[in-house]
Structure 1
Amino acid sequence: MAADSMVQLISYLTAQQPYEIVGTPESEWVDFKSASPKGPYDLSTDKGKFELAKDVAAFANAGGGLIVCGFKAKKRTNELYEVAEKVTPFDKKLVNIDSYKDVLTEYVRPLLKAKFFWFDHPEDDPETSGHYFVIEVPALAESERWALVTRGTNDNGQFIKGSWTIPIRNGDNTAHLPPDDVYRLMNDGLRTRRSPVPVVPAVPAADRARAREDLRTALEMEETPVLFFQSVPDHPRGLVPGMYADGGLRDLLSNQDTLRGAHAFNWSSAYKRPEPREGGLLLADAPRRGLLIESDGTVTGAAAATSEMLGWALGRSNDGGPRRISVFVLTEMTLEYFRLVDPHVLPLVEGDWTHRIVASGFTEDPGCTLAPGDDPAFPFWGAPQLATSSDWNHRWKALGDPERDAYEALRHIYALFGLDVTTNPFIDTDRVNTTKLLEKKP
């Protein structure tokens, strides 16, 4: 097996399935490292500090990525890239996260907000034990490029005073801009979109798989099929201002401007209030729905695909068949998410945003179904279609128009069931028609 994306790799680690990652090649988005007795990076040496700073800066310059520690990688015969060939989990005491942060703060400019995560190896594995350490590196905004390391090293691995270098991830390797090219960039004000070294094009914002799993756990939805909505700034810029201020995001979540009140199908709650969570906000209405806003503005919404939420008034058939999703509830929940996020959250972080929908567990027994057309009257005759994937994950550049973004989300959701979004009665061309939705009497 192998992981073909950051979200899939993190999903394997979260599910304690590290062996599924074996066979994954190093690339522009992932680098594997095994741990020595001093850890993945020996920060007691200048060379170890430089290697950490270099690797992080290189990923930031090439669109972001993951440094995954706890796997041995090797280049196989007739292959271009090194491939993860063995799991090598290790003891947490080999890594002091504060020391890693200190090195990046001292040696990388501009300051990068890398994130650090631990994942457990399966306890029942008789062959090995330990943990995996992952560094998630965000992409650096074009306007702030390039990230540089404020030290270079000599052949003995010792820092050279007054030196610096600009590393760039190129495939599974790291290249350094030669002096002549650095000189040209300096004359351009270090603000150019072109590079003399082949650079992998910038990718959309990193898939926040961990945020989805954290929200799922908070809502006690581990065994529930869940539809996630997620909105991520392509280039986060630290803490969003006014998270807890009067009129800020906390007030927004507490007093949402919904289409039909807090008891309808939206993300507000008449009983729950948003709670501070690691610099952000969590509005949890378990086991039906929940909304998480992270400190950098990233929004994750989770709706249960059960009779408690997306299957309201439909549920399962009497013979214990699949969970049926209500067309009306799905459409209103989708539109309400973007009515909340597009006008109120996106403007807080400049630049492009990426919207994403993830349908998780939709084919798990007894499965989920969606039918073309409107919701049928009792006894629910129709032609419902079964979901075709339990890991449906699609994204698009945020349009900033709630009705247009809701259409894009529904277009991807309908495809999960082998349906065309035009069979949704609340769609007009390329947008959800709010008027038609409000005319429906649930």
Structure 2
Amino acid sequence: MAADSMVQLVSYLAAQQPDEIKGTPESEWVDFKSISPNGPYDLSTDKGKFELAKDVAAFANAGGGLLVCGFKAKKRPNELYEVAEKATPFDKKLVNTDSYKDVLTEYVRPLIKVKFFWYDHPEGDPEATGHYFVIEVPPLPEADRWAMVTRGITDNGQFIKNSWTIPIRNGDTTAFLPQDEVYRLLNDGLRARSTAAATAPAPAPAADRVKVREVLRAGLKLEEAPVLFFQSVPDHPRGLVPGMYADGGLRDVLSNQDTLRGTHAFNWSSDYTRPAPREGGLLLADAPRRGLLVESDGAVTGAVSATAEMLGWAMERYNDGSGVRRINVFVLTEIALEYFRLVDRHVLPLVDGAWTHRIVALDFARPPGRVLASGEDPAFPLWGSTEMATSDDWNHSWRALGDPERDAYEALRYIYALFGLDVTVNPFIDGDRVSAAKLQAKGKRLQAGQ
């Protein structure tokens, strides 16, 4: 037997009939993955991350397809393609779907909304036990092609920085778009864009939801305090976000956030409050420190106080007598990255299309004023040179990248400019990204009292 379509293959798995899949050839719509001791993809290695990103991007650039994990494929004599030869079900603990999502979020552009499914092997089989794991990859719309992997790889299986590649599904194999074709596509696109620009109006940016910021600020009782806002809005909202209050939906995500250093650190989680329904959305408030509001259409607004409660944490002793208040570099960076880890990973995928991220800093220059310094936070008793905020209404936006560490970098780039500083003076920056590893290392030093 063999499956002749995605629907039929999935129906065999759902009916616990894996033997019916044997003989199915790999093709432009299915690829079979056997299991190593570290699962179908070894995400502890650059090679494993690249393989996952490459396979997903290749199917997205074709007509979509299935990555079916738990079958060994082999090319038989006189056959053109490898076929599923043996069922190899495996333990679910070999796959962490959050890690798979993280790899795809980091290494595939644009963001591709894959779906994960588990199917059981029949009970009572004396020869095999376990499960099958399927990654369903949707096709990219023609207007959005091509999907690319943001890293190339060496023959030794190591990522090459500042490189990229465009994989395409070619029958039962994966090829890569030739350089000449990439060059032609780029030039065709530039010419078409230049022609259209002469006649088409500029696209409207996502609405700046000023009222939402005002409501959140009042609800946190921060009307008299300087506040930093993070805001994310879909360019084309489509009504209610599905499953806001369902099991595994956004309410559960906010209640059980995957943070870098736990709820005690500088993030948007809380041990004391739970997200509360608000006009079809959710409000997670921790006055007067910070709060997060998710609207019914998925738009998110986060507010952080620029006081000793949050952004000025542990900075009171560096007051030079003028009354100015210093911003803690570590707190600012961690809270920014945690916002985009939450929003880019869990909210953006709920609404198709482009999103706009925005930062707004209000009343940072109002006396006594807020200051920020280059480099690390000072070690007592050294103060370090500081720069004063230059505006009381700093408002900048950018097209969401869907990559938390890149979007956090963009946010900090604008925040540092408020103080007349370049973002490269931030010690937690690595190239054009915020480094989660550097933040975690600093957090460990803080816990150790260093």
| TM norm structure 2 | 0.54
Shift of 1:334: 0.3
Are positions 1:436 and 2:438 aligned together?
A: yes
- CA offset digits 1:118-165 (Å, max 9, x no partner): xxxxxxxxxxxxxxxxxxxxxxxxx9xxxxxxxxxxxxxxxxxxxxxx
Are positions 1:328 and 2:333 aligned together?
A: no
SS class of match (1:257): coil
SS class of match (1:365): coil
Amino acid at match of 1:424: N
Q: Which residue of the partner structure matches residue 234 of structure 2? A: 233
SS class of match (1:220): coil
Q: CA RMSD in A?
A: 1.8
In the alignment, the residues of structure 2 paired with residue 365 and residue 243 of structure 1 have an alpha-carbon distance, to the nearest angstrom, of 41
> Which moves more between the two structures, 312-321 or 362-371?
312-321
SS class of match (2:248): coil
SS class of match (1:422): helix
Amino acid at match of 1:347: P
Shift of 1:204: 1.3
In the alignment, the residues of structure 2 paired with residue 401 and residue 299 of structure 1 have an alpha-carbon distance, to the nearest angstrom, of 16
Are positions 1:250 and 2:246 aligned together?
A: no
Correspondences of 1:9-48 after superposition (within 5 Å): none
Shift of 1:200: 2.9
- CA offset digits 1:385-416 (Å, max 9, x no partner): 00000100000000000000000000000000
Q: Which residue of the partner structure matches residue 14 of structure 2? A: none
In the alignment, the residues of structure 1 paired with residue 428 and residue 392 of structure 2 have an alpha-carbon distance, to the nearest angstrom, of 26
Correspondences of 1:19-418 after superposition (within 5 Å): 200-315=201-316, 317=319, 319=321, 321-418=323-420
Shift of 1:319: 2.7
Q: Which residue of the partner structure matches residue 25 of structure 2? A: none
Shift of 1:317: 1.4
Amino acid at match of 1:214: V
SS class of match (1:337): helix
SS class of match (1:415): helix
Q: Which residue of the partner structure matches residue 162 of structure 1? A: none
- CA offset digits 1:193-239 (Å, max 9, x no partner): x99x9653221110011111110011000001000000000000000
SS class of match (2:411): helix
Specify every segment of 5 or more residues in structure 2 that has no aligned partner in the other structure, as ranges.
1-142, 144-194
In the alignment, the residues of structure 2 paired with residue 370 and residue 379 of structure 1 have an alpha-carbon distance, to the nearest angstrom, of 17
SS class of match (2:284): strand
Aligned residues: 250
Shift of 1:381: 1.2
Amino acid at match of 1:393: N
In the alignment, the residues of structure 2 paired with residue 428 and residue 258 of structure 1 have an alpha-carbon distance, to the nearest angstrom, of 20
In the alignment, the residues of structure 2 paired with residue 235 and residue 417 of structure 1 have an alpha-carbon distance, to the nearest angstrom, of 33
Specify every segment of 5 or more residues in structure 1 that has no aligned partner in the other structure, as ranges.
1-142, 144-193
Are positions 1:426 and 2:431 aligned together?
A: no
In the alignment, the residues of structure 2 paired with residue 223 and residue 320 of structure 1 have an alpha-carbon distance, to the nearest angstrom, of 19
Identity of aligned residues (%): 72
In the alignment, the residues of structure 1 paired with residue 208 and residue 288 of structure 2 have an alpha-carbon distance, to the nearest angstrom, of 24
In the alignment, the residues of structure 1 paired with residue 200 and residue 431 of structure 2 have an alpha-carbon distance, to the nearest angstrom, of 38
Amino acid at match of 1:250: R
Shift of 1:380: 4.3
Shift of 1:379: 2.4
In the alignment, the residues of structure 2 paired with residue 279 and residue 379 of structure 1 have an alpha-carbon distance, to the nearest angstrom, of 50
SS class of match (1:437): helix
Q: Which residue of the partner structure matches residue 18 of structure 1? A: none
In the alignment, the residues of structure 2 paired with residue 329 and residue 259 of structure 1 have an alpha-carbon distance, to the nearest angstrom, of 13
Shift of 1:321: 1.5
In the alignment, the residues of structure 1 paired with residue 430 and residue 260 of structure 2 have an alpha-carbon distance, to the nearest angstrom, of 18
Shift of 1:308: 0.5
- CA offset digits 1:235-294 (Å, max 9, x no partner): 000000011111111111111000001010000111111111111000000000000000
Amino acid at match of 1:217: A
SS class of match (1:379): coil
Amino acid at match of 1:293: V
SS class of match (2:230): strand
Larger Rg belongs to: 2
Shift of 1:318: 6.3
In the alignment, the residues of structure 1 paired with residue 372 and residue 322 of structure 2 have an alpha-carbon distance, to the nearest angstrom, of 16
In the alignment, the residues of structure 1 paired with residue 322 and residue 314 of structure 2 have an alpha-carbon distance, to the nearest angstrom, of 15
Amino acid at match of 1:200: P
Shift of 1:365: 0.9
